[in-house]
Structure 1
């Protein structure tokens, strides 16, 4: 942007246009560039990007931007924005759960508050954590089995010691 007078309003306006056209990666890069150019983003800059990430259900990135926002601005962000991402399509607060299945062991997710293990109801579901790397997926089930076996062994030893 050399040759142009660049201030936080200019950068925020460009960021708004990028977000409006769902070019979120470019908007995030622009946010970093404003800092490098010596222009401090304000709460408007962060809110533009944060709202767009939340609408796109990109929770991890939204939480990271939220933290960055608290680090760089004195403005206290309204936490209700992050509440949007944790509400299922039924309008209820979506519980934050941990998967214990072999294929997604330990991954965290949000799902429908009314889900009972049988029916999906409103169908709301998204992973909060990225998928585990292939090596982790290979190792974790073996470690969980080892823990289970050791717990069983401990229980046996306790019973034999009490007898």
Structure 2
């Protein structure tokens, strides 16, 4: 995979990708600093991945990826041993999209993509709980993202105030 930004529109029409967009910006909006997605999700698998991507959408629809991240469910708790998921349980995940800086120009939209894979950017999770890199079979997983007062999935964007 070559480095750099790509038009995300072909990815965004896939049925396994959730897409959330703001209305067009009414003024230039600067985002600078660390970005995280807090995701409340359940899965039918004992281990799975969740991915998030921040995208700058131009007025003509061109959707440029800015930064992305992934979390493997079994490693969802930092500095703790791997632990599998109980299928069906709602679990909180924090996906680190790392720090970036971008000015979303007036007329552009902020977009977030959520999926369970971003291959080949990140290795595939076979959803079996098997040994990473050695598991040759895979299981399809049914993923559910939750949005409610009890499960407030969201993105944290460090907006730089305008002078």
Report the TM-score, using the length of structure 2 for normalisation: 0.23
RCO (CA 8 Å, sep 6+): is it higher in 1 or 2?
A: 2
Q: Which has the higher helix share?
A: 1
